[in-house]
């Protein structure tokens, strides 16, 4: 799975019978091409698994001008955003005990990731859907929410104990390895 951590939007996903550097390179290339990302715009964070550190993936990232960020060795929670997405997947009430085939797994994930991107509201992005933030409609939706809350407050301020309600804010940054924090750690 490739997830845009700022938008929480799952850009692309893949289920394969085996994990290889070639499959990973093709997957990353397809995801980047599908988003129209130019050189030197992207940092890809990955674990230190053999596929993500393989020569095909490393060379592809160099060719595409993609910076790399890797987790520390032997750390299981290297990407909290993808870990949260996978937890949402695994705890989905419709998640089966097992899949009958790889095709069944792909069909389930097709439905799940459409739901995750277009219907599931995330607290980390102001209770918006990833698609709303990714495609730029979240600002207008937040403004409409504010108007609705203003009207509710004007109609009955006691309901809100005299405090004007506001919709949750959208995040301005998202980091896994915050460069400013990393610099502070290295300089101490």
Structure tokens of 121? Answer: 């509201």
CB-neighbour burial class of residue 156 (10 A; exposed 0-12, middle 13-18, buried 19+): exposed
pLDDT tens string 106-132: 999 999 999 999 999 998 899 999 999
- The domain limits of the chain are 2-116
Integer-rounded Cα Rg, in Å, for the chain is 20
* CATH number at 2-116: 3.30.420.10
DSSP 22-39: HHHHHHHHHHHHHHTPPT
Q: What DSSP state is assigned to residue 158? A: G
Q: What is the pTM for the complete model shown?
A: 0.79
- Quote the CA–CA distance of 114 and 131 in Å, as a whole number: 10
Cβ atoms within 10 Å of 181's Cβ, excluding its own: 10
Confidence label for 81 from pLDDT (cuts 50, 70 and 90): confident
For residues 156-162, give the mean pLDDT: 92
């Amino acid at each position: 799975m490739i997830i845009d951590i700022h938008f929480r939007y799952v850009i692309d996903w893949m289920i394969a019978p085996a994990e290889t550097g070639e499959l990973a390179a093709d997957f990353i290339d397809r995801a980047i091409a599908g988003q129209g990302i130019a050189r030197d715009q992207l940092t890809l964070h990955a674990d230190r698994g053999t596929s993500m550190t393989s020569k095909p993936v490393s060379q592809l990232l160099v060719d595409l001008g993609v910076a790399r960020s890797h987790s520390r060795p032997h750390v299981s929670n290297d990407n909290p955003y993808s870990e949260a997405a996978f937890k949402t997947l695994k705890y989905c009430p419709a998640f089966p005990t097992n899949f009958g085939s790889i095709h069944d797994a792909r069909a389930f994930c097709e439905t799940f990731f459409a739901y995750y991107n277009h219907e599931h509201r995330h607290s980390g992005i102001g209770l918006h859907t990833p698609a709303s933030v990714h495609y730029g409609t979240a600002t207008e939706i937040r403004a409409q929410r504010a108007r609705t809350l203003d009207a509710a407050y004007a109609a009955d301020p006691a309901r809100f104990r005299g405090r004007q309600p506001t919709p949750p804010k959208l995040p301005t940054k998202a980091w896994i390895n915050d460069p400013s924090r990393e610099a502070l750690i290295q300089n101490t």
